Amino acid sequence: MIAELQDKYDYGPGFCTVPEGKSAKDVVTDYLQCLYSHFVETISGRDVNSQALWDMTPAEFWITVPALWSDAAKEATFDAATRAGFGSRRLARGLKDSVHIITEPEAAALTVLTEENTSLGNCPRNVLVCDCGGGTVDIVTYKVSRGAGDKLKFEKLLPGEGAMCGSTKIDRNFHDWMNKTFGDHYRNLSPKIKNPSSLFFRSFEDAKCVFTGPNHTTPSMEVSPIPMNAPDSINYDREYHTVILTTENMLGLFQPVVVEILRLIGTQVAAVEKRGSNIEEIFLVGGFGESPYLKAELKKWCAERSIKYNNPWSCQEAIVKGAALRGLLGIKPTRDMSDHHYGYSISMPFREGIDDEAHSWTCPWEGTKWCRHRMECSNTLEQGDCLDDLVPKRFELQRSVFADTMDVSGVINVWVCGSDYAPDSSSDWRVKKLGAVKVEFSWDDVVRSPSRAVAGDLIYQVKYEIEVVLVSERGLLEFSVIVHGATKETTIRYDEGFDTVIR
């Protein structure tokens, strides 16, 4: 939600903007606050018994987010929810409410792959879940099998795919088409007339939801009202303030989005085939999964490749149902994996002929040549690592501290990469900064460390360990720092201008 608002805000005035003085996170917090208040009023306000039951019963709140969102976007959403009141209650006997995060394709998979909701037949087999929502499309592949008591089991086969090519991309295409077709007649209209919540765009939403493709039942579709000072034309009826979209116009809006979705699916199918296996069935879920045109195109695509196509009748509710199943029954994949590489940037011994001289420096403690911005993932989390078996990982670092240093705190930059292979330098274009881990040292930590005099200066060599833990319910990394056997206060600060997605 935050990511989509941020993206629309960047799209410019006249389409969608956040209120002046507010950030996307502020807007989402306000919305969630109203949602939480309505929820509490509804569940506890029916009668005295309802209130008493609510007062003694802890609640779990599950928030679904796109799989391709960065950790910063997930953290911002989690923070907005807690600021709005979710998870804030502290009850008797130490009980309390809790907030959890689950990715949307995993939630959808929980719905379509549970035994009572699927016709998978013979197992084991590989299935692909394509979650097409408003802003994002997420694709994940599972190997489905049956365990003890014929109970359905599923495990993630490989890192997922995703992109910002949901149904709102069609809205943006329509916005572009209106600008190109009508110029200033459209561009100069008040934002209230043409923003996504306007009557005009609601009318377009209705047309979008029923469009079937090249053989649509009518040769054109009408979208209104839009009072432009434009002349009558094949695309505009001035008297009725109506835009007329031909089938060709609609295809121009849909096709780039549908083609991108099919490309993403094809990439995932090819990755499975590269491993010597194949996809037997594809499930289309999510709000955009209701589109007749998208369903027809994917069904045809599957038929050409002898892949079974499945579009559950409840595809729009699949994500919400899956999140509820996760909370109520504890159902989850028997094996999950990381979609990205996570690493930290540090200095390492300089490799002549390999490392960039611009990144070289001389270590005052050892007097040897080192290289900045080297990236290390093996001690953190690599793409494809199994999250279920993940144990905290520790790695040792050291830093030189001069005796006259005023601030002895340290900062470790954490980076993330969605490529198949992680580069060994954080300056590589494929790597994005996740945030900075601040380590709070004290002078007591420093003076307890080895020291020596170098060129008249007293230098301490502080050695410490960083422990990395993946909190699977939130899907975020957590860090702690150990100095001289004691755990130190550590925080991770995400960049304010965080990227919505990693890929």
Mean pLDDT lowest among 9-18, 117-126, 305-314, 488-497: 9-18
pLDDT 10s digits, 250-281: 999 999 999 999 999 999 999 999 988 899 99
Question: Which of 187, 174, 259 minimizes the C-alpha distance to 228?
Answer: 187
pLDDT 10s digits, 339-378: 677 777 778 888 998 888 888 888 888 888 988 888 776 6
Full-model pTM:
0.76
Q: What angle do CA 10, 12, 14 make, to 5 degrees?
A: 145
Are 109 and 61 in contact, with CB atoms under 8 Å apart? Answer: no
Distance between CA atoms of residues 221 and 244, nearest Å? 6
Mean pLDDT lowest among 24-38, 277-291, 386-400: 386-400
Q: What pLDDT does residue 46 have?
A: 77
Percent helix, percent strand, percent coil in the chain, to nearest 5:
35, 30, 35
Q: What pLDDT does residue 7 have?
A: 41
Beta strands 308-310; 281-285: pairing state:
parallel
Residues whose CB falls within 8 Å of the CB of residue 94, separated by 6 or more in sequence, listed in order: none
Distance between CA atoms of residues 441 and 443, nearest Å? 7
Q: Is 90 exceeded by the pLDDT of residue 296?
A: yes
The CA–CA distances, whole Å, from 341 to 68, 104, 418, 434, 437 equal: 13, 20, 6, 11, 17
Local structure of residue 445 (DSSP, 8 states): H
Question: Which of 426, 427, 370, 376 minimizes the C-alpha distance to 400?
Answer: 370
Are 196 and 4 in contact, with CB atoms under 8 Å apart? Answer: no
State the distance between the two ends of the chain, measured CA to CA, in whole angstroms: 18
Distance between CA atoms of residues 149 and 139, nearest Å? 29
By three-state DSSP, how is residue 421 classified?
Answer: coil
pLDDT 10s digits, 452-488: 888 888 888 888 887 777 655 555 667 788 888 888 7
